[in-house]
Amino acid sequence: MAEASGQKLTARNLVLGSLGVLVLLLSGLWLIDPDAFPVGSVTEAEGPAPALPSEYNTPPLSEAERIARLQRSIDEQRKYVEKLQAQLNDPNGEYHKAEKRFQDIDAERDKVRREIRDLKEAGKDLEAAAREVALKDIEARWQRQRDRFNLAIQERKTLQESIATATKQLHEDERALARLSGAPSSSASPSGGSDAPLAVPTSAAKAKEKSASPSLSPPALLSAPSSPLAPSAPAAASSPSIPVLPPNNRVSREVERAREEAKLKEEAAKKAESKVQSISERIETLTENIALTKKLLQDARRRADFEQQTKAQLEKELQQKTSAKAPNAELQDIQRRIDLAQQRFQQAFAEIHSTTDHLHDLQEELNRLQAAQVRALHDAAAKKQAAEAAEERIAQLQNPFRPRNIVHWLLSHGPRLLFIALGTFVFYRLSRTFSRRLVQILSQGA
C-alpha cells in the first residue's frame, strides 16, 4: 500500500515538474524575444535617409511655388512654339524670300547664258563679250543668293525640329502640372502619368469583384491577397472548404499591420520611381530642346555674318562702280541691295538676342530639373529602402523559429499535445493497474 502511494506521489511530482519546466521555458522564450515589449509602431523604425550633396542641400520648393513656376514656364513655352510656327509659316519669311530671289537670279543667269550662246552663234562677238561682262556680275549675285538660300533651308529644317521638340516639352510640362494640381490630363503618357490616379484602378477592381460575387463581403481596403489571415473574395471562391480565421491573436495582427504598412511603403516607392522617370524624360526632352536652340542660334549668327559680308562686298562694289562712272540706275540698284542686306542683318541680330534669352531660360529650367531629379532620386532611394525594410520585417515576423512564433505555436498546439500526453500517461497507468490486478486474480485462482 505504501509502495503504491509512493508511486502516485512520484507520478504527480513528475507531472507537476514537467508543467513547471514548460511554463519556465515559455516564459524564457517570451522574455528573450526582443519584440516581447514593443515600443511605438509594430514595424521597425526607418533609418535616417542619407544626406543630400552640399550643392543640392537647399530647401525644396513648395507645391504652390512649383505649380506657379511650371505654369509660367508653360505659358512662355507656348508663346515660343507659336512664334516658331508663325516664323515657319510666314509667306514673307526669310526662307520664302531667299527662295524667290534665288529663283529669279537663277532664271536671269540662264537667260543671259542663252543670249551669249545665241550671239556667238550669230557671229556677234562684241555684243557677246559685253553680255559676258554682265554675266560675271550676275554670277556673283547668283553665288550670294545660293548661299543665302542654303542657309535658309538649313534654318528651316532646324526650325521644324525645334517646333517638334518644344511641343513635346510643352506636353510633358502640362502633364507634370496636371499631376501637381491633381487635374486630369488628356495627353498623359503611360510612363509619365502612371503615378497620378492611383485610386481609380482600385475602385474599378472593387466594383468588379462586388458584381462578380454579390454574396461575399467586400475585402478590406488594405488587405493583402497573399495573406492567409485576411479573407478575400477570390480565395474564398477558389477554396471554399478551407476555413478563413480572423486575425484574433497578437501575432496575426502584427503580421497584418506589417503587411498593410509594407503595401503603403511599396506604393510610395512606386510613386517616387514614377516621379524620377517623369523628371528624367523631361530632362531628356529639355536637353534636346537646348541643343536645337543652340543650333538655331548658330544659324542666326551665320546668317548675320553672311549679311554683314554681303554688305561689305556691295559697298566695295559700289565704290568701284562710282569710280568707274557707272550709270545712276546701276548705282541705285547696288545701294538698294546694301540697304536690304543691312535690314536682314538687323533682323538676324534681333533673332540672335531673342534666341540667346530663350536659351538662358531653358538652361535655368534644366538646372532646376536636375536639382529636382537629385531630390527625387534621393527620395526614391529612401522609400525603396523603407519598402525593403518592411518586407524584411514581414519575413522576420513570419519566421517559424522566431521566439514569439514558437510561443504562439505552443499556446495553440500545446494544450492538445498536453491532453494527448496525459491521455497516454493515464492509459499507461490504467493498463499497468489492470495487468497487476489480472495477475493477482490469476495467481489467487491457481
DSSP string, 376-414: HHHHHHHHHHHHHHHHHHHHHHT-TTSHHHHHHHHHHHH
**Residue that is written with C-alpha cell 499631376 in the block:** 179
Radius of gyration (C-alpha) of the chain in whole angstroms = 45
pLDDT band at 8 (very low <50, low <70, confident <90, very high): low
Model confidence at 110: pLDDT above 90: yes
Lowest mean pLDDT among 49-58, 375-384, 418-427: 49-58
Write down the pLDDT at residue 12.
Answer: 64
Average pLDDT, the chain: 76
**What letter would DSSP give residue 51?**
P
Q: What pTM was estimated for this model as a whole?
A: 0.60
Yes or no: say if 31 and 406 are a contact pair by the CB < 8 Å rule. no
Write down the pLDDT at residue 27.
Answer: 64
> DSSP assignment of 326-384, as one string?
--HHHHHHHHHHHHHHHHHHHHHHHHHHHHHHHHHHHHHHHHHHHHHHHHHHHHHHHHH
* Four-way CATH pick for 250-398: 1.10.287.950, 1.20.1440.230, 2.30.30.100, 3.40.190.10: 1.10.287.950
Model confidence at 38: pLDDT above 50: no
Write down the pLDDT at residue 219.
Answer: 37
pLDDT band at 181 (very low <50, low <70, confident <90, very high): confident
Distance CA 166, CA 192 (A): 17
Write down the pLDDT at residue 223.
Answer: 38
Q: Where are the domains of the chain?
A: 250-398, 404-446
Q: 45: part of which helix (H) or strand (E)?
A: none
Model confidence at 247: pLDDT above 60: no
Instruction: Write out pLDDT tens, residues 277-333.
Output: 989 998 999 999 999 999 999 999 999 999 999 899 889 888 988 888 888 888 898
Distance CA 113, CA 120 (A): 11
Write down the pLDDT at residue 225.
Answer: 39
Model confidence at 217: pLDDT above 50: no
pLDDT band at 82 (very low <50, low <70, confident <90, very high): very high
Model confidence at 265: pLDDT above 50: yes
